[in-house]
Amino acid sequence: MRNRAGDRRPAVSVVTWQRHAGRAEEMAAALGGEAVHVYYPGLTSGVARNLGRYALSALATAAHLVVRRPRAVLVTNPPVVPGLISTVYGQLTGRPVVLDSHPTSFGAKDHAMSQRLLPVHRAMARRAAAVMVTTEHWVRVVEGWGARGIVVHEAPPAWTVSSRPDPGGRRPRVLFVGVFGSDEPVDVVMDAARRLPDVEVHVTGDPARCPAPLQASLPSNVVLTGFLGPADYRRAVEEADVLLVLTTEPTSVVRAGYEAVYARRALVVSDTPVLREVFPAAVHTSNTADAVADALRRALSTAGDPEPLDRAHATQQARWQSQLAALRQAIARGPRRGVGGDANEGRSARPAG
């Protein structure tokens, strides 16, 4: 997407209030726009600090849109506030707004706040040029609201890694990527690690969110890496033989799975229909310790074979190009302004399933 001659406004501003800016930066690069990462790490604990953070973030987001006047906005949801600000901007200026609605924005993964705010999400969706979602299930939900849903996953990362990890005389290494979220069976990973004493298992995420009983009984071959910034995360992926990503949420398309394929690393993921479809070359496992340990053994036994990794990479690149074309088309169609009531207005906003 390019601006017209002499127009210095960004083609698209990709707005996120999340701690991680990687997805926003990658989407912005793919669309020829700019990433707007609004996050105040010093204001993340306590009610007063969180309210202050939201107020500052809202002001910063509104100021950016007013000053930069992007020709389109793509905004992460949740939280709902930047989506609301972007929707108002789109309605006032006639510029298209795309919601990047993660499964939690529909109330999945026990996200109670998003469940309560589903009517707001629905109102924004019906005014958006499109709503980016992870699966066709959410497309149907969004279309039931009278909005446009499109499946869009992950753009190629800005970083690259070497084609194969350097063993350096160390044990095989598994990188379990997570944030100690409610859908991540971390206890299963710990038990699986006990069954693989010759394998080093690195677990990402803030250790403060790791349940105390798990920390107290940490297996000797497990390393809690803490939160990893972009450079440290790239290095962790490069040094891993296998990436492990588990979820109990059936509509989740795990970002780290995409990163594994882009990095040409062996991948083990939970066995859900959507993850089988998106990652056909991965080793799929049920979320039990024995199954995960067995899946890791199988993945490690073939981790050095480049042919299946190259095929998976090519398939993923082709899928991304198709999704990117659909996203560009949705933005080009323009905004939906002044959407009124329709036959869906009386339905419950809570999605089925």
pLDDT per position in the chain (353 positions), as tens? 555 555 689 999 999 998 889 999 999 999 999 999 998 876 666 666 678 888 999 999 999 999 999 999 999 999 999 999 999 999 999 999 999 999 999 988 888 898 999 999 999 999 999 999 999 999 999 999 999 999 999 999 989 998 777 666 789 999 999 999 999 999 999 999 999 999 999 999 999 999 999 999 999 999 999 999 999 999 999 999 999 999 999 999 999 999 999 999 999 999 999 999 999 999 999 999 999 999 999 999 998 889 999 999 999 999 999 999 999 999 998 876 555 444 333 333 333 33
Pair 26, 131 in one domain = yes
Q: What was the pLDDT predicted at 290?
A: 98
Q: Is residue 313 part of a domain?
A: no
Domain count, the chain: 2
Domain presence at residue 345: no
Kindly state whether residues 137 and 179 are assigned to the same domain: no
pLDDT of residue 343: 35
pLDDT at 334: 81
Instruction: For residue 315, tell me if it sits in a domain.
Output: no
167 in a structural domain: no
Please indicate, yes or no, whether residues 179 and 289 belong to a single structural domain of this protein.
yes
- Domain contains 207: yes
Could you tell me if 178 and 79 lie in one domain?
Answer: no
CATH label of the domain that carries residue 223:
3.40.50.2000
146 and 238 together in one domain: no
Do 196 and 329 have their domain in common?
A: no
Domain assignment present for residue 180? The answer is yes
- pLDDT, tens digit (0-9, with 9 covering 90-100), for 51-97: 888 899 999 999 999 999 999 999 999 999 999 999 999 999 999 99
Q: Does residue 292 lie in a domain region? A: yes
Its domain, for residue 221, covers: 173-303
Regarding whether 243 and 152 lie in a shared domain, the answer is: no
- One domain for residues 180 and 149: no
Same domain as 186, residue 108 = no
Residue pLDDT, tens place only, 144-176: 999 999 999 999 998 999 877 766 678 999 999
Q: Do 180 and 63 belong together in one domain?
A: no
Three-state SS letters, the chain:
CCCCCCCCCCCCEEEECCCCCHHHHHHHHHHCCEEEECCCHHHCCCHHHHHHHHHHHHHHHHHHHHHHCCCCEEEEECCHHHHHHHHHHHHHHCCCEEEEECHHHHCCCCCHHHHHCHHHHHHHHCCCCEEEECCHHHHHHHHHCCCCEEECCCCCCCCCCCCCCCCCCCCCEEEECCCCCCCCCHHHHHHHHHCCCCCEEEEEECHHHCCHHHHHCCCCCEEEEECCCHHHHHHHHHHCCEEEECCCCCCCCCHHHHHHHHCCCEEEEECCHHHHHHCCCCEEECCCHHHHHHHHHHHHHCCCCHHHHHHHHHHHHHHHHHHHHHHHHHHHHCCCCCCCCCCCCCCCCCCCC
Instruction: Examine the domain organization and report whether 119 and 41 are in the same domain.
Output: yes
Is 61 among the domain residues?
Answer: yes
Q: Are residues 225 and 132 in the same domain?
A: no
Can you give the pTM of this predicted structure? 0.86
